[in-house]
Amino acid sequence: MSTGVYTQRMLVREDPESLSEHMVTLNSAIARILPVELCRRHHMIPVDYLDGFLTLVSITDTSREAAEAVRKETGYEPRWVIADQADIDVAIERLFAHDADIAAGNGATFSAEDLLSHGLAIPPRLGEQLAGRGLVTEQQLGEALAEQDRSGGRIGEVLVHGGALEESALLRVVSEQLQLPTIDLSEYDASQAPRDVIPEPVARRLHCVPIAIDQTSLFLAVPDALSNEARAEIAGYTDLEVEQFLAPRNDIDELLRRVHGPEYTATAVSYLRERFPGRSAHTVITGAQKGFLILLALAVVGFLVWQFTTTVVVIFALASIFYTLTSLYKLVAGYSALGHRYSLDATPEALAAIDERALPIYTILVPLFREAAVIPYLVRGIESLDYPKTKLDVRLLCEQDDDETIDAILDQDLPPHFNLIVVPESHPQTKPKACNYGLLGAKGEFVVIYDAEDRPDPMQLKKAVLMFDHCDDSIACIQAKLNFFNVDTNLLTRWFSIEYSLLFDLTLPGLDARKDPIPLGGTSNHIKMDQLVEVGGWDPYNVTEDADLGIRLHQAGYRTTMMESTTYEEANTEVGNWVRQRSRWIKGYIQTWLVYMRNPLSLLSSVGFKGFASFQLLVGGTFIFLINPFFWFLTTLFALTQAGFIQDLFPGWVYYLAASQLFLGNFIFVYLGLIAAVRRGNDGLAPYALFLPFYWGLMSVAAWKGFSQLITNPFYWEKTEHGLDLGEPIPVSRRTDVS
């Protein structure tokens, strides 16, 4: 049957058989004039060409967008034949079967004239083969085709990532189609791999790993047949004939890590320190800082010996001024947040209008250590994200000695968008080092960190992509809000929730409104991959790596903005566990302050006076928690004894300034906590804000613990135990933000 006769029959729809049954008789070269993505998007297939006109089967003859796309792609004027969408979609999958691309020249691109002059046999499409062998059902195949039409990707990947098909089964069928053997890499001895034939960065980018070599051939494990471009690039490094063996992509990545483990570990630990040595917390205090602190201490001691009372009065006066400025700055930031509009209002309509086929790959880093109990909750939270599974690169980062968590992940039998990455043992054993290690080989255009117990807003990734698309290029990071799903467990969790509401619903949005540096939260910060690598990744020696990265991005000329989206975490329910967590945070804030105060003039020059002042009052404000106990002790002692020497230490204006902080400062923090709780929608927390001063007492306990560790064990990562109060996942209907 000629294509011309077929076209006429379609016009009158006299043939009772379906389009998909007839399409096997067509010349596939004509169909391939248009890219498969274009055919899928507009539900159309070219079927005939005559005298400068291209005839296409479509669901409509009135689509201006489709007609313009055809003219732009081919230069021909389109003519339309009407058919059912279901028939067209099935025919597209038959015509554009993956191995037909291989038959067309290993992925080479042909011009329209070349395609019109060459006919190609059309093999059965991959989906039909899978269904024909009973590997998937017709229903699963139909659902996968619908998902493919919506979000793009290959039909086999859609089936595997969706859980309908085992990856090993898909690999066997693809192996037959491509006539390439498969290989099991699980027992492969990495020491036998030829390391120097292809540079590691090239192998990582092309997702291939050399597994053997002889006099004439280089044997590569690959997840798919290499393109002509990839083969040409490899040929630039070796004259050997390339022999390809198919293996799962995650297995190839894992073998690359085993082969190049020492280099990967060295990069994770040393990349920032070698590229920007002045910005690494590897050295707690530099020689210049030590010299300054020694001179300052000697000067203070000297003045205390010479004029004890006057010196103490000056110290208390300076501390009171710093207290006052810190309180006022947080009040100003909170006030700025009230009228702040986010960079983009990701409305339901805007999110629904996103073309999922255009969405980029998104890397999700999940650092884990002794988290076996929360793995099922973690998987459930990641799987609830409304994002195409074939475009997720979820990297579960486990420490080498954490067998319990590794086994818990393996027991889940996760689809391939989850990738278990075992971080080799090395110093320091910290979350940022694990994240740096996981970043090697990451596929995403954007990267986000989630903690093990996180339950993110299902639309959060799409919101981030939408914001990045509409923001200017200076925005390198988008911070989502954090709060807790177990707010009402006890008094500690209520206070903790008020603090998070104050930070993420008032302070950080206020900093965003003022364009001041934003110290990031430990999770749900969405970062452009290129900019993250540009500034050196995370500092493996800083135990509050998030705050450090936020300042470093700002210093490099980039900005962080806030997102109207919340990730829910598990609030600590036990005081001891809370103190361990908070001591690490405060230790890291002090580390960050010390790093950027190595060269105060450089910091001032790079972030400006406003940013410099913000850094001092927000990050440097951490020192307040160390000073608080002294003032509380003196206040209590004076109340009990009316000791005259205490009055001498607070003369005149110093007394009034300190008293104002006792009353006005406490009022500001309590007031902001109350507003934040109500703004978050947790009105029931408002009464507990009145008792926040007791919570600050706990902060001072944690602060002194963290400060002492900074001296004795600066890079020790205080482990926070998760899974103590998981409960049930909160309903999606509660995942709303109160503006």
Given a cut of 50, whether residue 80 has pLDDT beyond it is yes
Quick: pLDDT tens for 456-474.
999 999 999 999 999 989 9
**pLDDT value, residue 388:** 96
**pLDDT value, residue 118:** 41
Residue bearing the bigger pLDDT, 686 or 3 = 686
Quick: pLDDT tens for 246-289.
999 999 999 999 999 999 999 999 999 999 999 999 999 999 99
3-state helix, strand, coil in the chain (%, to 5): 55, 10, 30
N residues, the chain: 739
Residues 6+ apart with CB under 8 A from 41: 357
Quick: pLDDT tens for 185-211.
988 999 899 988 999 999 999 999 999
Helix (H) / strand (E) containing 242: strand 241-246
CA 591 to chain CA centroid, nearest Å: 24
Q: Does domain 190-259 have CATH number 3.75.10.10?
A: no
What separation in angstroms does the CA of 388 have from each of 43, 453, 467, 469, 731? 20, 22, 18, 18, 21
Q: CA-to-CA distance for 132 and 662, rounded, in angstroms?
A: 77
Q: CA-to-CA distance for 721 and 408, rounded, in angstroms?
A: 16
**pLDDT value, residue 124:** 60
Q: CA-to-CA distance for 378 and 450, rounded, in angstroms?
A: 9
Q: CA-to-CA distance for 633 and 572, rounded, in angstroms?
A: 28
Q: CA-to-CA distance for 466 and 115, rounded, in angstroms?
A: 38
DSSP string, 58-88: ES-S--HHHHHHHHHHHSPEEEEEE--HHHH
Give me the phi and psi of 722, to 5 degrees please.
-105, 165
Residue 266 in tokens: 């060295």
| Count of beta carbons in the 10 Å neighbourhood of residue 358 | 11
Residue 408 in tokens: 């818990």
Q: CA-to-CA distance for 158 and 392, rounded, in angstroms?
A: 12
Given a cut of 50, whether residue 616 has pLDDT beyond it is yes
Q: In DSSP terms, which residues pair with 182 in a beta bridge? A: 246
| Count of beta carbons in the 10 Å neighbourhood of residue 119 | 12
E strands, 629-736, in order: none
CATH number given to 260-360+373-715: 3.90.550.10
Strand duo 53-58 + 44-50: pairing = antiparallel
Given a cut of 70, whether residue 516 has pLDDT beyond it is yes
> What CATH class does 3-116 carry?
alpha beta
Given a cut of 60, whether residue 122 has pLDDT beyond it is no
Given a cut of 70, whether residue 10 has pLDDT beyond it is no
Q: CA-to-CA distance for 348 and 565, rounded, in angstroms?
A: 13
